[in-house]
Chains A and B, each alone.
Chain A
Amino acid sequence: MTLPLLWNGNCCFRHIRSKPQPRRRRLIQTGAAHLDFQCRCTIAVLRRGKARAQSFRIRTRPCLLVNATPQVSHADRNQREQPVIFDRYCTEGFCDELFVADGQPRPIAELLIARIESLPAGSLERRQKAAEAAMYQLGITFNVYGEESGTERIIPFDIIPRIIAAAEWSSIERGLKQRIAALNLFIDDIYHAQKIVKDGVIPEELIGSAASLRAPCIGIDPPRGVWCHITGTDLVRDGDGRLYVLEDNLRCPSGASYVLENRRLLKRTFPSVFAAMNVRAVDDYPNRLLQTLQSLAPDGIDATVVVLTPGMHNSAYFEHSFLAQQMGVELVEGRDLTVLDGRVHMRTTQGMQRVDVIYRRIDDDFLDPRVFRSGSTLGVPGLMDVYRAGRVALANAPGTGIADDKAVYAYVPKIIKYYLDEGAILPNVQTWQCSDSSERGYVLANLDKLVVKAVNESGGYGMLVGPHASAEQRSQFARLIRAEPRNYIAQPTLALSRAPVLVGDRVEGRHVDLRPYVLYGSEIYVLPGGLTRVALRRGSLVVNSSQGGGSKDTWVQFAPTEQQGSRDA
């Protein structure tokens, strides 16, 4: 919906006052004392611009707005006749998530931008600081490896949300479901007949040489044939405005907790505009996650589900404990678990208690020292035997890493075609395999234009961003590629889309990606939104939190037809 009118306090205020119909009068009497001008403006604009069918929602909204935000005084309003905060915002030719061009918000973002511009001077910064202080106070932090022990930081958080229109989301959702379904069939096939290899779709050599292939998983049949229960797929928007899959994360993807916490903070920060924007809720995630995990247990048993963490010093510990808490299940460490009588038990104050489903947040290599890395104390000796016997379920299943090997990634469109006989809805980023001699030649000749990635690294490690790298770094990567070609892929440097972020008291564009979360239990569910990660350094293309990236709340709007009905669904 394009709003015909941007913020103009006098006009809107008069608009309400001059037509004192009974309902409106009640609204003003009950709510107006607590509403700031922008809220009233929003009501007025919506009343004019929207169809009558929605008048119920418009009428009820102000109740939510009471006391929601600092009030705008007359003095502030007079000083702020002209919006200033975005006036110098420049897209610099990049595709921008909120702006079509300089000074021209996308239709989906108009209300948000107008709202932000109507805030009194300094208010946005104050809200940003308040949100950061709240995160710190609440301990929503991650641990920084290699720094003084106990060092915690909040993941930098930007207060301006990103908005995704309903239509685009619906295509993302279909694309992700398709992709996860195909990848799951692929994993299952790899650990069984390997038909896709025998049919020549994927080279045998590529699978055989994958460091993420887990021999102990061959022949395992996980419950319902599902391996990848929790996926976080990274999407980026290129200069052409299209979304591409950058990579799949099927092992222990992090960040869902930040989606929930960012949302909580944003609801507190922009309650009025949030209420007017028809944003799809994300609070359902822990419940969906629990359902997904419970679906892995044999039918009819009241399954004991636990989250397995490496412990308090892991960088994602906040997430582990948050998810366990939100699901109401135990957060266990390896030392809490033991295998007794062919089953996994946890040591409790009342004795041993059986565990049926483990949402493990430790890597394959550390799960069971008898099967994988022998020196590890993070896991549980004998766990894999119990798993193979079908007496405990693991999510994600060990071995899923084969599908997010970055060399396998290049084949995902073929994988989708092979198993589902469909074209990929979400395209891949063009990828060159260094294991292929001609592609390697191209990569080596164009290192200054490409991004090179090690196939089994994550978190922005083991990566060369060619155009930003020094000659020395490029020649070092050239040596690495020649020494171990199977371990590297290359992709073009994308003109990642940007979104406005608050930098000091002004707004500047920063590159973003998007990590939606997909749950696969008895059905496939995609959390509406996901984590928008932001490269906070000017010009940087690396968004990982371990590389100083931040995050934004991601608002997926309801489609016009689903606004009323599916809100409570």
Chain B
Amino acid sequence: MLSRVADAIYWVGRYLERAENVARFVDVNLNLMLDLAHTATEQWKPLVQTSGDAEAFAKRYGEATQENVIHFLTFDAGNPNSILSCVTAARDNARSVREIISSEMWEQTNTWFHMVRDAAGGNEALGALNEFYVRVKMASHLFNGIADSTMSHGEAAHFLRLGRMLERADKTTRILDVKYFILLPEVAEVGSAFDSIQWSALLKSASANEMYRKRYGQLTPAKIVRFLLLDREFPRAVRYCVLEAESCLRAISGSAAGSYRNAAEQRLGRIAAELNYAQIEEVIAAGLHEYLDNLELVLNSASAAVFDTFFSLRPIQVSDSTHANGNA
């Protein structure tokens, strides 16, 4: 498969997953604000911080009002991580490889893009916005289902899934970070109704509420962190995503488990090992925020290694034509 094509497919996976995640955050927060209306503590700023674009937001919008944040994260073409921008970028990438992906996948991406663009053109009422985020999430699920059942589970599908899994792992760490670091409640509020509403909102933004309940029952911060960070069966848990991403890489390169052939596999393997053997008590004792921060950094470096290994279009230097990507 062409490097350029693999790159584009990987980014289709990442961008669409990102759009879905932004829709999750905003949607959960909209509901949360309704529940907390009486406390008058609007919490919109953390959403911007979750996305990592706090600086750009502050520069262009100033105050983190509901309206500003929603526009910034949803329809702002100037924000590269807004839903509109993500879906547009995903569509551009899909368009550049539409001969590789199935036409159903392209059609779904295109339909999704038109849906978001049309919504961006209108003035959505709050109720319609709720509906809009649901449609974005469903569009993403539909895309994943279509991809799963219309495209051969070969290299292209692995790159698509790799992108999606790395993006999802990154977003789950950010969700956790927001709650534990930024929303850190006053000591007096630990265990209060306010706190538990927030923890369950956090679980909901990862669509993890019901699955968590089935597994652990009561909402306990440590268990919630363990569930979202270390569960190996829940599809949005960081460990699940990393293990899946690792297996996609192996499927692409043919490396055996426990070994590596390129920097991407080496770095992702190391993250997987760390998560496999992590103890949640140790993590919290050492500082969850620091742990998550570091996790985001190493995930980024794994992502960079994927680029170097498979996508980079540097001038060719090797004359031995069969192993040009080697351990780049």
Is A345 part of the contact surface with B, judged by Cβ < 8 Å? yes
Given contacts A321-B98, A341-B319, contact A351 B324 (CB under 8 A): yes
> In the complex, which residues of chain B have a beta carbon less than 8 angstroms from the beta carbon of A338?
316
Given contacts A341-B321, A351-B322, contact A325 B2 (CB under 8 A): no
Min CB–CB distance B80 → chain A (angstroms) = 15
> In the complex, which residues of chain B have a beta carbon less than 8 angstroms from the beta carbon of A348?
1-3, 6
Chain A contact residues, majority secondary structure: mixed
Q: How far is B174's CA from A234's CA once the two chains are assembled, in angstroms?
A: 59
Find out whether the CB atom of A336 lies under 8 angstroms from the CB atom of B95: no
Find out whether the CB atom of A137 lies under 8 angstroms from the CB atom of B107: yes
Is B92 part of the contact surface with A, judged by Cβ < 8 Å? yes
Find out whether the CB atom of A336 lies under 8 angstroms from the CB atom of B322: no
Is B279 part of the contact surface with A, judged by Cβ < 8 Å? no
Which B58-98 residues have C-beta < 8 A from chain A? 92, 95-98
Find out whether the CB atom of B110 lies under 8 angstroms from the CB atom of A138: yes
* Cβ-neighbour of A345 out of B159, B252, B321 (below 8 A): B321
Report the nearest B residue to A339, measured CB to CB: B316
Find out whether the CB atom of B316 lies under 8 angstroms from the CB atom of A336: no
Report the nearest A residue to B3, measured CB to CB: A347
How many pairs of residues, A versus B, come closer than 8 Å at their CB atoms? Answer: 80
Which A289-314 residues have C-beta < 8 A from chain B? 311-312
- B230-241 contact mask (Cβ, 8 Å, vs A): 1 or 0: 000000000000
Find out whether the CB atom of A137 lies under 8 angstroms from the CB atom of B114: yes
Chain B contact residues, majority secondary structure: helix
Is B313 part of the contact surface with A, judged by Cβ < 8 Å? yes
Given contacts A312-B92, A349-B325, contact A137 B3 (CB under 8 A): no
Find out whether the CB atom of A312 lies under 8 angstroms from the CB atom of B2: no
* Cβ-neighbour of B98 out of A325, A345, A350 (below 8 A): A325
Find out whether the CB atom of B325 lies under 8 angstroms from the CB atom of A335: no
Is B195 part of the contact surface with A, judged by Cβ < 8 Å? no
* Cβ-neighbour of B1 out of A137, A322, A349 (below 8 A): A349
Is B201 part of the contact surface with A, judged by Cβ < 8 Å? no
Is A331 part of the contact surface with B, judged by Cβ < 8 Å? yes
Is A139 part of the contact surface with B, judged by Cβ < 8 Å? yes
Find out whether the CB atom of B99 lies under 8 angstroms from the CB atom of A321: yes
> In the complex, which residues of chain A have a beta carbon less than 8 angstroms from the beta carbon of B99?
321-322, 324-325, 330-331
> In the complex, which residues of chain B have a beta carbon less than 8 angstroms from the beta carbon of A347?
2-4, 313, 316, 324
> In the complex, which residues of chain B have a beta carbon less than 8 angstroms from the beta carbon of A349?
1-3, 6, 155, 159, 252, 310-311, 325
> In the complex, which residues of chain A have a beta carbon less than 8 angstroms from the beta carbon of B114?
136-137
* Cβ-neighbour of B111 out of A137, A321, A322, A352 (below 8 A): A137
> In the complex, which residues of chain A have a beta carbon less than 8 angstroms from the beta carbon of B1?
348-350
* Cβ-neighbour of A352 out of B5, B159, B252, B324 (below 8 A): B324
Min CB–CB distance B123 → chain A (angstroms) = 23
Which A385-433 residues have C-beta < 8 A from chain B? none
Is B323 part of the contact surface with A, judged by Cβ < 8 Å? yes
Q: How far is B110's CA from A349's CA once the two chains are assembled, in angstroms?
A: 27
> In the complex, which residues of chain B have a beta carbon less than 8 angstroms from the beta carbon of A138?
103, 106-107, 110
* Cβ-neighbour of A350 out of B103, B107, B325 (below 8 A): B325
Find out whether the CB atom of A330 lies under 8 angstroms from the CB atom of B2: yes
> In the complex, which residues of chain B have a beta carbon less than 8 angstroms from the beta carbon of A346?
2
Report the nearest A residue to B102, measured CB to CB: A325
Report the nearest A residue to B322, measured CB to CB: A351
Q: How far is B321's CA from A332's CA once the two chains are assembled, in angstroms?
A: 18
Q: How far is B155's CA from A336's CA once the two chains are assembled, in angstroms?
A: 18
Min CB–CB distance B94 → chain A (angstroms) = 9
- B213-256 contact mask (Cβ, 8 Å, vs A): 1 or 0: 00000000000000000000000000000000000000010000
Which A316-367 residues have C-beta < 8 A from chain B? 317, 321-322, 324-325, 330-333, 335-336, 338, 340-341, 345-352
Find out whether the CB atom of A340 lies under 8 angstroms from the CB atom of B110: no
Find out whether the CB atom of B316 lies under 8 angstroms from the CB atom of A312: no
Q: How far is B311's CA from A348's CA once the two chains are assembled, in angstroms?
A: 8
Interface centre among B99, B111, B159, B252 (most CB of A within 10 A): B99
Interface centre among B3, B110, B252 (most CB of A within 10 A): B3
Report the nearest A residue to B316, measured CB to CB: A338
> In the complex, which residues of chain B have a beta carbon less than 8 angstroms from the beta carbon of A333?
4
> In the complex, which residues of chain A have a beta carbon less than 8 angstroms from the beta carbon of B110?
137-139
Q: How far is B322's CA from A348's CA once the two chains are assembled, in angstroms?
A: 10
Given contacts A138-B110, A347-B313, A349-B325, contact A336 B2 (CB under 8 A): yes
Min CB–CB distance A131 → chain B (angstroms) = 15
Report the nearest B residue to A328, measured CB to CB: B99
Interface centre among B98, B100, B322 (most CB of A within 10 A): B98
Q: How far is B6's CA from A347's CA once the two chains are assembled, in angstroms?
A: 11
Given contacts A347-B313, A351-B323, contact A335 B96 (CB under 8 A): no
* Cβ-neighbour of B322 out of A317, A321, A352 (below 8 A): A352
> In the complex, which residues of chain A have a beta carbon less than 8 angstroms from the beta carbon of B107?
137-139
Report the nearest A residue to B95, measured CB to CB: A312
Q: How far is B309's CA from A351's CA once the two chains are assembled, in angstroms?
A: 10
* Cβ-neighbour of A312 out of B96, B100, B313, B324 (below 8 A): B96
Q: How far is B114's CA from A9's CA once the two chains are assembled, in angstroms?
A: 42
Given contacts A324-B99, A348-B3, contact A139 B321 (CB under 8 A): no
Q: How far is B114's CA from A239's CA once the two chains are assembled, in angstroms?
A: 45
Interface centre among A332, A335, A336, A347 (most CB of B within 10 A): A347
* Cβ-neighbour of B313 out of A317, A325, A330, A335 (below 8 A): A335
A-B contacts, 11 of them at CB < 8 A, read A311-B96, A312-B95, A325-B100, A331-B99, A340-B319, A340-B321, A348-B2, A349-B159, A349-B310, A351-B322, A351-B324
Q: Pick the 4 closest A-B CB pairs, nearest first.
A: A325-B99, A352-B321, A324-B99, A349-B310
The residues of A with any CB-CB pair to B shorter than 8 Å are 136-139, 311-312, 317, 321-322, 324-325, 330-333, 335-336, 338, 340-341, 345-352
Task: Apart from A138-B110, A330-B2, A340-B321, list 19 A-B contacts with CB within 8 A.
Answer: A137-B107, A138-B103, A138-B106, A138-B107, A139-B95, A139-B106, A311-B96, A325-B103, A332-B2, A345-B321, A346-B2, A347-B4, A347-B316, A347-B324, A348-B2, A350-B325, A351-B321, A352-B316, A352-B324
